[in-house]
Amino acid sequence: MSDHLQNTLVSIQSQHDVQVEEFRGEFTLFVKPENIQTLMLELRDQFSFNVCMDVTAVDYYPQETPRFHVIYQLYSMPNNIRLQVRTRLDGNSPRIDSVQHIFASTNWKEREVFDLFGIHFTGHPDLRRMVMPQDWVGHPLRKDYPLGYEEVQFTFNYDEIMINKPHPKD
């Protein structure tokens, strides 16, 4: 672990209420959703984590009760260090503050997380659907959304599937 990263983790742990985990040489900070904006601002200004590479989410639907984890991947360009920040969110109308004014790269990524998981980012200037059509219902990457699998057509079920498939009129 480099010195800069060690200093960062030690001072953040002393000031905020976070837990640190490590797996295969990568470090993760678990933080509460209310503190995410202050933590991001401090990481960017004081500890020079100036690029946010990614914002994504994971859904642990039946197993864990804070159902969503929102994950931020931060990278410090001058020191060449990566850090991951995670928060836990509840399943009923999940809301979290947007960090779009801190890192401009999270603008589209938060829109994508809203589109695919349904997590609402308060303070985001333009929260619309990104990759699905605008009138789509549902959030596809949640674990209780079906895959939308179409049954494979073999010779024994050829006719049944042909009846249900849409065909163009001309």
Distance of CA 51 to the CA centre of its chain: 16
Considering only 35, 37, 42, 141, the residue that binds another protein (CB under 8 A) is 141
* Residue span 50-79 as binding mask against another protein, x where in contact by CB under 8 A, dash where not: xxxxx-x-xx-----------x-x---x--
Q: What is the DSSP pairing of strand 81-89 with strand 68-76?
A: antiparallel
Q: How far is the CB of 12 from another protein (least distance, A)?
A: 19
Which residues sit opposite 71 in a β-bridge?
56, 86
170 binds another protein (CB under 8 A): yes
Q: Could you tell me the smallest distance in angstroms from the CB atom of residue 152 to another protein?
A: 8
**Coil, helix or strand for 24?**
coil
Distance between CA atoms of 124 and 141, rounded to whole angstroms? 21
Q: Where are the alpha helices (DSSP H) in the chain?
A: 3-15, 36-45, 106-117, 158-164
122 part of the interface to another protein, by CB under 8 A: no
Of 54, 49, 59, residue with least CA distance to 89 = 59
Pick the stretch among 8-16, 19-27, 34-42, 87-95 that binds another protein (CB under 8 A): 19-27
Q: Quick one: which segment of 6-14, 34-42, 90-98, 121-129 binds another protein (CB under 8 A)? A: 121-129
72 CB-near residues (< 8 Å, 6+ apart) = 40, 52, 54, 55, 84, 85, 86, 99, 106
Of the residues 40, 109, 118, 121, which one makes contact with another protein according to CB under 8 A: 109
Q: Which residues bind another protein (CB under 8 A)?
A: 23-24, 26, 50-54, 56, 58-59, 71, 73, 77, 80, 82, 84, 103-105, 107-109, 112, 125-126, 128-136, 140-141, 145-150, 152, 165-168, 170
